[in-house]
Amino acid sequence: MRHDPSVAGPTDPRDDAELLRAHVAGDPAAFETLVRRHADRLWAVALRTLGDREEAADAVQDALLSAYRKADRFRGESAVTTWLHRIVVNSCLDRARRRQARPTVPLPEQGAGEPVAGGEDRDTTLTVRAALAELPPDQRAALVLVDVYGYPVADAAQILDVAPGTIKSRCARGRARLAARLGHLRNQEPSPDVTSGTARPRKEAP
Amino acid sequence: MSDTARPDDASTGVDVDLVADYQAGVLAGTPEEARVAELIATRPEWSDAAQALADADRVVLEDLAGLGAEPAPMPADVLSGLVEAIRAERSAPSSAAAGGAVVGFDAARRRRVRRARWVLGAAAAVVVVALLGLVGTSVLHDDSAKQASSARSGAAPTSTAPHPDLGPNNQPRPGLAGPTLGASGTDYTPATVVRVVRASGGSSLGAAARGQVPAQLDRLTRPDQLDGCLRAIAAGHPGTPRTVDYARFRGAPAMVVWLVQNGSSGMIVAVGPECGPDDPHLVYETVVLGAHETTPK
């Protein structure tokens, strides 16, 4: 589910900005239409950023209700979808930072109704998710947006409200950290705290 | 980035973060760019690290793209809870300003959580069925017609006797379906729990059990109490219970449960003596991946 911005859903010809304006003007169904249009993308980012279904559900709900209430403050300086993502990702980061302060562990994402990959794919996915969950929240959010879901660096920078260079750095450092944790670096054993039964053979030096 | 550096980085002084930034073009036009370029060109350890990182980066990008290709639609119960919350907000716009909308939001959240629990409960049906099967089987072993009738009819067992899977002195009986129950006497720690539980292999836990069930965990040896506790665990954790050890965790009485998915992956959770249907009283949990595991930071 790579990033593919859309301006209008199949059931409502209005674009995102028009829907938001309609909501502010009192259209009772406009915000719900907007939410339904972007629900899957927002959910995917929240789920991969938090790694926990219930936390992601709470973060998304908190964020979108907040967006509902403060829609009149949207100034159109970014796309509506970027604004929604920013609110959702910030809600996720707040939760991730709070959780980081507690002695806890990555929780399972899997919940009812979610597709389950099988066999080796499932193990690989679990391994990557687990390693991702151990990154600092800021690095994780950047990686989820850019490298997992393909958002342009500029969009991720707007969503996270940092410079594009910061996004690039967070992604590069995050991938370096993942490489170490997943055992992908040559001449390096997998990190003892996150290792994989499915780690690929390390490449030989050319 | 010392915690992500290669093992020899401390001795070689290679700054992996700096190399990563350099390769990502983050340092372009800065004095650091020329400095790192020179280090990579002139110092073998920097050159090796840069090459290794470049190779690994391609693999990690594939891993992450693979994760992104996995479908992750918003679950129906989450979407309906969200829509419900928005409608509640919409129906009480004036109270929102006064803070009343929080009530609607919280109510919606509670409904969502209840629904999610119901759905999760349905998803855990396999576990529950397995547990009922375990109780039924155990009851038959216990030769108690009354309990057998209760278990077969699906009614909640009401026995206050220790779990029938536990033999004399609360030692587990071998050869029954469902999780193996044991009382190993182990005092687990985060550092040892995965290794020790996995080493037990499940089936050998019973044979290895020599200890007694800690008194505070007696309640959880009763089938109805154990079932309620395992239901609560199943609501928040995937997998089927393979072993249950009435033991200790960091010195305190705890029931340590190994949940298995896809053969050997899954989770290990430790719950406190208060574990029950509404709250597992989670003490600790860790993900187990194949032959290895992830542990908390």
Q: Report the residue from B20, B65, B79 with minimal CB separation from A172.
A: B20
CA-closest candidate to residue A188, choices B40, B297, B14, B199:
B14
Q: Which of A173, A195, A202, A203 has the most B C-beta neighbours within 10 Å, making it the best mutation to test the interface with B?
A: A173
Q: Which amino acid does the sequence have at B141?
A: H
Widest distance between CA atoms in chain A: 64
Instruction: Flag whether A205 is in a domain.
Output: no
**Residue A161 DSSP SS3:** coil
Q: Report the residue from B4, B85, B293 with minimal CB separation from A177.
A: B4
Write out chain A's pLDDT in tens, 206 residues.
555 444 444 478 899 999 999 999 999 999 999 999 999 999 999 999 998 899 999 999 999 999 999 999 998 889 999 999 999 999 999 998 887 665 444 444 444 334 444 455 667 778 899 899 889 999 999 999 999 999 999 999 999 999 999 999 999 999 999 998 888 876 554 444 433 333 333 332 22
For chain B, give every domain's residue range.
2-69, 76-123, 125-294
Instruction: Flag whether A173 is in a domain.
Output: yes
Residue with tokens 């209005």: A14
What SS3 string covers chain B? CHHHCCCCHHHHCCCHHHHHHHHCCCCCCCHHHHHHHHHHHHCHHHHHHHHHHHHHHHHHHHHHHHHHHCCCCCCHHHHHHHHHHHHHHHHCHHHHHCCCHHHHHHHHHHHHHHHHHHHHHHHCHHHHHHHHHHHHHHHHHHCCHHHHHHHHCCCCCCCCCCCCCECHHHCECCCCCCCEEECCCCEECCCCHHHHHHHHCCHHHHHHCCCCCCHHHHHHHCHHHHHHHHHHHHHHCCCEEEEEEEEEECCEEEEEEEEEECCCEEEEEEECCCCECCECCEEEEEEEECCEEECCC
Q: Report the residue from B1, B90, B289 with minimal CB separation from A176.
A: B1
- The CA-CA-CA angle for residues B107, B108, B110, to 5°, reads 65
**Chain pair A-B, CB pairs under 8 angstroms:** 251
CB contact under 8 A, A108 and B238: yes
Write out chain B's pLDDT in tens, 297 residues.
333 333 334 445 788 899 999 999 999 999 999 999 999 999 999 999 999 999 999 999 999 999 999 888 999 999 999 999 999 887 764 433 333 333 344 444 544 444 444 444 444 433 433 333 333 322 222 333 333 333 333 333 333 344 444 444 444 433 334 688 888 888 888 777 777 777 765 444 444 454 578 888 888 888 888 988 998 888 777 778 888 888 888 888 999 998 887 666 677 888 999 998 878 888 887 776 654 444 433
Instruction: Flag whether A123 is in a domain.
Output: yes
Judging contacts by C-beta atoms under 8 Å, the chain B residues touching residue A197 are 264-265, 289-292
pLDDT tens, residue by residue, A128-169 = 998 998 899 999 999 999 999 999 999 999 999 999 999 999
**B79 CB near a chain A CB, below 8 Å?**
yes
For A147, the domain range is 16-110+118-182
pLDDT of res. A44: 96
How many domains is chain A built from?
1
Instruction: Flag whether A8 is in a domain.
Output: no
pLDDT of res. B143: 31
CB contact under 8 A, B60 and A58: no
pLDDT of res. B8: 38
Question: Which CATH number does the domain housing residue A150 bear?
Answer: 1.10.1740.10
Q: How far, in Å, CA of B20 to CA of A169, rounded?
A: 8
Instruction: Flag whether A7 is in a domain.
Output: no
pLDDT of res. B211: 58
